[in-house]
Amino acid sequence: MNSSIKKKSILSYRFLDSTFDFARTAYEYEKKQKIDIEQYHNNSIAGIFMIVTFLEAHINEFFFEIAENETYPHKTINVDNHDVIAKLWDKGIPRTARYSILDKYDIALYLTKGKEFDKSCYPYQDVDALIKLRNSLIHYEPIWQEVSPCKNPNRLEQLLKGKYKPNPFLNEKTEPFFPFRCLSSDCLIWSIKCSITFVRNFYDNIKIDRTFKNVYQHSMKKIKTVTA
């Protein structure tokens, strides 16, 4: 009888790299005087999808590594609750799908007896706003919006405004903040910075030997190449 060969794939870092590519392309568009505005918007939306997918894929991979008794990270963190963690990925079936992305990270911290996130400040607040932006795009519902003067900005605009430079091609007097004026290369760079800082904090909070330090430092250096 031939034994089957099994292989797993780690995709989170591919999603992160994809976001860098979209950010770089968006920035190159912004340097041009004449652009394909539809391609620019498509590129920006795709970047937001990819960075949030990175966040979710990364925590899913974390649960998988523990449940499947992989080399890391379960041997380098507190595993008193190993069986509970494993049940969230019972027999290869992810049981974490019912939880939001942020809830998954919170649950992982709780089960590994890690320090809780400070939910009142950066990067937690920014990642929360980023996920809400992604959700608003992926579950898009058209609505009438005030343009100018906008006396009652919606909740999403309140969460995002001031965190990055908005779309340079659209005028706030003629275009609402969402869905296109809120998208830009600077938006994607912001999304990368807050996401990798968030994941690094996650590893710091569980005091894992395999830290996110190298990925964090590499990503911060890579951000500089986007606008070079």
Main-chain phi, psi angles of 29, to 5 degrees: -60, -40
- C-alpha to C-alpha distance for 121 and 153, rounded to whole angstroms: 22
pLDDT given at position 117: 97
pLDDT digits (tens, 9 = 90+) for 155-168: 999 999 999 999 99
Higher per-residue confidence, 37 vs 213: 37
What would the mean pLDDT of 112-133 be, rounded to a whole number? Answer: 95
Tell me which DSSP letter residue 181 carries. I
pLDDT given at position 44: 97
What would the mean pLDDT of 12-34 be, rounded to a whole number? Answer: 92
Judge whether residue 66 has pLDDT over 80. Answer: no
Rg for the chain, CA atoms, rounded: 20
At 94, the pLDDT band (50, 70, 90 cuts) reads low
- C-alpha to C-alpha distance for 15 and 198, rounded to whole angstroms: 16
9 C-beta neighbours (distance < 10 Å), count: 6
Q: What is the pTM of this model?
A: 0.89
Q: Choose the weakest-confidence range: 118-122, 150-154, 168-172.
A: 150-154
Judge whether residue 128 has pLDDT over 50. Answer: yes
pLDDT given at position 62: 86
Percent of the chain past pLDDT 90, that is, above it, reads 56
Q: Compute the residue count for the chain.
A: 228
- C-alpha to C-alpha distance for 56 and 77, rounded to whole angstroms: 21
What residue segments make up the domains of the chain, in order of their start?
Answer: 12-142+187-226
Closest CA to 160 of 131, 140, 196, 200: 131
> Helical H runs in 68-173?
82-87, 101-111, 124-138, 155-160
Q: Choose the weakest-confidence range: 33-47, 67-81, 97-111, 129-143.
A: 67-81
pLDDT digits (tens, 9 = 90+) for 197-224: 999 999 889 877 666 788 888 999 999 8
Judge whether residue 1 has pLDDT over 70. Answer: no
